[in-house]
Amino acid sequence: MRKIYIVGNWKLNKTPEETVQFCRELKSNLKKVPEGMVVGISPTHLALESAIREMKGSGMLVGAQSGYWEASGAFTGQVSMSMIKAVGADFCLIGHSEQRQFFGESDESVKKRTETALAIGVLPIVCVGETLQERETGKTDAVLERQIRQGLTGVKITSGCQLVVAYEPVWAIGTGKTATPEMAQDAHAYCRRMLAKVFSGPIAEEISIQYGGSVKPDNAKILLAQQDIDGCLIGGASLKLDSFLGIINA
Ligand code: PGA
């Protein structure tokens, strides 16, 4: 059985103090993570350590939003995957569309980050997804194929549990527009077929594929009911306790 990953992507939001406050409230409202589910948050690098300290023993995960493949050196502005590991992060988002769009993330750099994360024991959550223009010109499958093939071919895993993929149509991120459950299911099934080509059928069956893009408490249930949707990566709605808990409870 694939695990259901419910992960908050906080982007550039919440100071360390606000992070600690949220973690305390989350812990007191979610005493036990439901069976078969993984719940996680990803604050900014600056708040990572305090979130990890606060969430210790809660059964919930804390991860980073990005990590550089080189461990150290002359790379101004970067935080390395090994530093993230050193403070105790469980996972790292890789290839988020905002990283691709604004900070030059490519399929090649996605692959380097993924290999580094695996090598040091941080769970990679690899994000893929098409833009509105790509969808409207019928390129969705081609884009997903390219992102999965170029980002993951040659990456060594022995089990699908070592990797999570997030399908996030760029046009649905932060826009209030969500893919219909059918659209999302089709894209997820396609991603799984590509993962089967890159890894193997059995490994692809084990990989949890999250949906992301304007997930809210009122659309989470129908999305999560789809056969190939194994969780959600949540931006806006993960910043408020009520809506984050609403999605977990859905
Ligand atoms: P959103 O963001 O839920 O605010 O659309 C999702 C994401 O960027 O991961």
At 133-185, the pLDDT tens digits run: 999 999 999 999 999 999 999 999 999 999 999 999 999 999 988 889 999 99
- What is the pairing mode between strands 61-64 and 91-94? parallel
Task: Please tell me the distance between residue 32's alpha carbon and the centre of ligand 1 in angstroms.
Answer: 25
**Active-site annotation holder among 49, 54, 145, 168:** 168
Handedness of CA 182, 186, 191, 195 (dihedral sign): positive
- Chain CA centroid to CA 169, Å: 13
Is 181 within 8 Å of 224 (Cβ atoms)? no
pLDDT at 176: 86
User: What is the model's pTM?
Assistant: 0.98
**Is 206 among the catalytic positions?**
no
Which residue, 81, 87, 80, 82, is CA-closest to 55? Answer: 87
pLDDT at 97: 97
Task: Please tell me the distance between residue 235's alpha carbon and the centre of ligand 1 in angstroms.
Answer: 3
Is 133 within 8 Å of 173 (Cβ atoms)? no
* 54 contact partners, CB below 8 Å, separation of at least 6: 19, 20, 23, 24, 27
- Closest residue by Cα to atom 7, ligand 1, is 235
The whole-angstrom separation of Cα 231 and Cα 104 is: 27
Q: Report the nearest atom of ligand 1 relative to the CA of 215.
A: 3
Q: Which of 66, 171, 215 to mutate to test the pocket of ligand 1 (most atoms within 8 A of CB)?
A: 215
Residues touching ligand 1 (Cβ under 6 Å) are 9, 168, 173-174, 212-215, 233-237
Task: Please tell me the distance between residue 214's alpha carbon and the centre of ligand 1 in angstroms.
Answer: 6
DSSP 164-213: EEEE--GGGTTTS----HHHHHHHHHHHHHHHHHHS-HHHHHH-EEEEES
pLDDT at 177: 86
- Closest residue by Cα to atom 3, ligand 1, is 235
Query: Both tokens of residue 232?
Result: 């959600």
The whole-angstrom separation of Cα 213 and Cα 168 is: 6
Is 228 within 8 Å of 248 (Cβ atoms)? no
**Active-site annotation holder among 96, 98, 145, 188:** 96
**Is 49 among the catalytic positions?**
no
Q: Report the nearest atom of ligand 1 relative to the CA of 213.
A: 5
**How far from 224 is each of 71, 133, 195, CA to CA, in Å?**
37, 26, 20
pLDDT at 46: 98
DSSP 95-125: S-HHHHHHS---HHHHHHHHHHHHHHT-EEE
Phi, psi of 127 (to 5 degrees): -95, 135
78-130 tens-digit pLDDT: 999 999 999 999 999 999 999 999 999 999 999 999 999 999 999 999 999 99
Task: Please tell me the distance between residue 159's alpha carbon and the centre of ligand 1 in angstroms.
Answer: 27
- Closest residue by Cα to atom 1, ligand 1, is 235
pLDDT at 1: 87
Q: Strand, coil or helix: what is 142?
A: helix
Q: Report the nearest atom of ligand 1 relative to the CA of 234.
A: 3
The whole-angstrom separation of Cα 99 and Cα 101 is: 6
Task: Please tell me the distance between residue 232's alpha carbon and the centre of ligand 1 in angstroms.
Answer: 9
The whole-angstrom separation of Cα 224 and Cα 188 is: 12
